[in-house]
Amino acid sequence: MRRKLVVGNWKMHGSVATNKTLLAGIISGVQNLDNSDCAVCVPYPYLCQTQLFLQDTKVAWGAQNLCPNEDGALTGAVSSAMLVDYGCTYVILGHSERRIQFHETDETAAARFNAALKAGLTPVFCMGESKEERESDWTEYVVGRQLDSIIRRFGAEVLTKAVLAYEPLWAVGTGNPATPEQAQKVHQFIRRRVAKCNPEVAAELRILYGGSVKPSNAAQLFGMPDIDGGLIGGASLEAEQFVAICKAANDAACSVSEQVALEES
Ligand code: PEP
């Protein structure tokens, strides 16, 4: 059975002082949540601080991008090995803000994905359509193309070592989330597309939803059959909100396992 996962994406937010309060609040808030996983992906300069706070706790950590090259004259770049040095488990890749504002493409996102896997990091690979693409009924074409950019190059089996995130651009940072039904439809499309290549991989694959998830909508989203947790931006910057979202994931996991036990009895 897939464990729910909630990943915070701090983006370019934080300071040494505010991180202390945020991380302490998250550690204490999630300590009894045994049926789900959670992680925070922080800006590079805070990886050392995050590692010091989170080691030996339930909360994993990671970064928000990496450079696919191993090393070299690449001013400003950070390699996968450097993330491993700081104990990262996850790395967010292909985020829409990277694709749009930093001109990353399916090709460069795939190269990063490959570098992450080689280093033993778990990519949280983001996919999603713009408002115009949704209105033109191109959602499946766009998300399918982004998914294929990985499957065609590396095969579906690599997805056993990755997490996917469906993040419609019109929902990210807008306060306008997808409805649980809208999100479920795309998650089901993603899972079915992976299943055509490898049904076992598809059954185990965690697909997160991201885009204006809040404590008020998390339970409904995480209650959908193909939504395995969330990638959380704004609400991951407040311990109380992030913990409430992690609790919603944990509660959803508990009700799924109760249902399975009932069906088996
Ligand atoms: C994100 O940036 O990945 C995200 C989902 O942001 P928000 O939760 O603020 O919409």
* Closest-CA residue to 212 (of 234, 185, 181): 234
Q: What is the pLDDT of residue 261?
A: 65
Q: How many CB atoms lie within 10 A of CB 205?
A: 21
Report the residue count for the chain.
265
* Closest-CA residue to 125 (of 101, 103, 138, 108): 108
Alpha-carbon gap, residue 38 to 7, rounded angstroms = 6
Query: Which residues have CB under 8 Å from 241's CB, separation 6+?
Result: 214, 215, 235
Establish whether 167 is a catalytic residue: yes
**Hey, what are 78's tokens?**
């950070």
For the packed helices 180-197 and 215-222, what is the interaxial angle rounded to 10 degrees? Answer: 40
Q: What is the distance in A from the centroid of ligand 1 to the CA of 150?
A: 22
Q: What is the pLDDT of residue 12?
A: 98
Alpha-carbon gap, residue 179 to 185, rounded angstroms = 10
**Helices (H), strands (E): how many in the chain?**
11, 8
Ligand 1 nearest atom to the CA of residue 11, by list position:
2
| DSSP character string of 164-210 | EEE--TTTTTTS-PPPHHHHHHHHHHHHHHHHHH-HHHHHH-EEEEE
Q: Whose CA is nearest to atom 8 of ligand 1?
A: 233
Ligand 1 nearest atom to the CA of residue 174, by list position:
10
Distances (CA, A) of 38 to 8, 10, 21, 219: 8, 14, 17, 15
Pocket test for ligand 1, best of 125, 169, 172 (most atoms within 8 A of CB): 172
pLDDT 10s digit of each residue in the chain, 265 long? 899 999 999 999 999 999 999 999 999 999 999 999 999 999 999 999 999 999 999 999 999 999 999 999 999 999 999 999 999 999 999 999 999 999 999 999 999 999 999 999 999 999 999 999 999 999 999 999 999 999 999 999 999 999 999 999 999 999 999 999 999 999 999 999 999 999 999 999 999 999 999 999 999 999 999 999 999 999 999 999 999 999 999 999 887 666 666 677 6
Query: Which residues have CB under 8 Å from 200's CB, separation 6+?
Result: none
Q: Whose CA is nearest to atom 7 of ligand 1?
A: 233
The CB of 210 under 6 Å from ligand 1? The reply is yes
Domains of the chain: 4-264 (3.20.20.70)
Ligand 1 nearest atom to the CA of residue 234, by list position:
9
Q: What is the pLDDT of residue 52?
A: 98
Strand-pairing partners, residue 62, are: 41, 90
**Hey, what are 36's tokens?**
């789900």
* Closest-CA residue to 125 (of 238, 247, 7): 7
